[in-house]
Amino acid sequence: MEQAKVYVITSGKGGVGKTTISANIGSALAMRGYNVCLIDADIGLKNLDLVLGLENRIVYTILDVVKGQRSVTEALVKHKIMKNLNLLASSQIANKDMISPEDMVRIINELSKHFHYILIDSPAGIERGFKNAVVAAQHAIIVTTPDLTAISDADRVIGLLENNGYTDKNMSLIVNRIKPKMVQKNEMVSPEDIQSALAINLMGIVPDSEEIIISTNQGKPLALEDDKKMSTIFNNIAARISGDMIPVGEDLKNFKENSEGISGFFKRVFGGR
């Protein structure tokens, strides 16, 4: 197998949806037939296993690999349904200083032999955990929500990534929790506004959706559910990562219709989600 393509999903600000997006892009890539490894680099505050519904299957973590107690392949956990989706879980008892950037490079070099794609879920912030997450990746996906605090932090992270050798050729933006109706009414900055301000490529637009909350509650990635509108978006992003040219405008196509107000109410009652 060729060397894996390594992506880091990062943000600066916490709570913008990095973990959910990592899990769903990883699942969508796995559904396309690729061997995918997700790495939870949020040491001490692990969440990726929860979003994937694998929290009860974790035996070894990245810390066991760093300590040399287990090989990296032994520490991987396969997804219950998608057997080509693997997770290298984080440790809840460790802290970020217990793992160095050199450890991450070594782990990713080893994993690269076995997978098509490796996605690293970066912790929030710009400290050691961020450095660990970005050091071995070839491409950074910056996640932001449409509020100024998150955009400002995303801008700071882009600057730090540039200092680490990233350019606008290998950085992309995902705008999460967009409310299309508010954008239409000129009440919220649009994904294009954010892209224009941050000056990097827009890889995807993810609307605010109850489907995400439900899927996280169930530990069942959206890519597994074809009938969900949100799964189309993550499939589009996965397709773009794997080289397909799908315009970003396609992401919100199913969300343009009125989903709020009286007509939205009747649609929900009679049409289902």
Partner 1 sequence: MSMWPFAKKNNSRDVAVKRLQTLVRTNGESQAQRNEHTTSFRLEKTNDDEINSIVNYIKDYAFRNLSVERDNVKVHISRDGEGVTIVANIIYK
Q: Which of 14, 33, 159, 261 binds partner 1 (CB under 8 A)?
A: 159
Q: Say if CB 65 and CB 71 are below 8 A apart.
A: yes
Q: Is 148 in the site for partner 1 (CB under 8 A)?
A: yes
Q: Which of 49, 64, 121, 155 binds partner 1 (CB under 8 A)?
A: 155
Q: Is 152 in the site for partner 1 (CB under 8 A)?
A: yes
Distance CA 116, CA 88 (A): 15
Q: Is 56 in the site for partner 1 (CB under 8 A)?
A: no
Of 147, 167, 166, 119, give the one whose Cα is nearest residue 18. Answer: 119
Distance CA 192, CA 204 (A): 11
Burial of 204 (0-12, 13-18, 19+ CB in 10 A): buried
**How many CA atoms lie less than 13 Å away from 182 in the CB half-sphere?**
12
What tokens does 92 get?
A: 């809840």
| DSSP three-state, residue 271 | helix
Task: Using the rule CB under 8 A, give the single segment among 17-25, 87-95, 100-108, 150-158 that binds partner 1.
Answer: 150-158
Q: What would the x/- binding string for partner 1 be over residues 178 to 217, using CB under 8 A?
A: -----x-xxxxxx--xx-xxxx------------------
Q: Say if CB 4 and CB 34 are below 8 A apart.
A: no
Task: Using the rule CB under 8 A, give the single segment among 47-55, 81-89, 102-110, 153-161 that binds partner 1.
Answer: 153-161
CB of 156 to partner 1, least distance (A): 8
Q: Is 161 in the site for partner 1 (CB under 8 A)?
A: no
Tell me, rounded to whole angstroms, the distance of Cα 66 from its chain centroid.
24
Q: Is 87 in the site for partner 1 (CB under 8 A)?
A: no
CB of 249 to partner 1, least distance (A): 19
Positions in the binding site for partner 1 (CB under 8 A):
148, 151-152, 155, 158-159, 162, 167-168, 183, 185-190, 193-194, 196-199
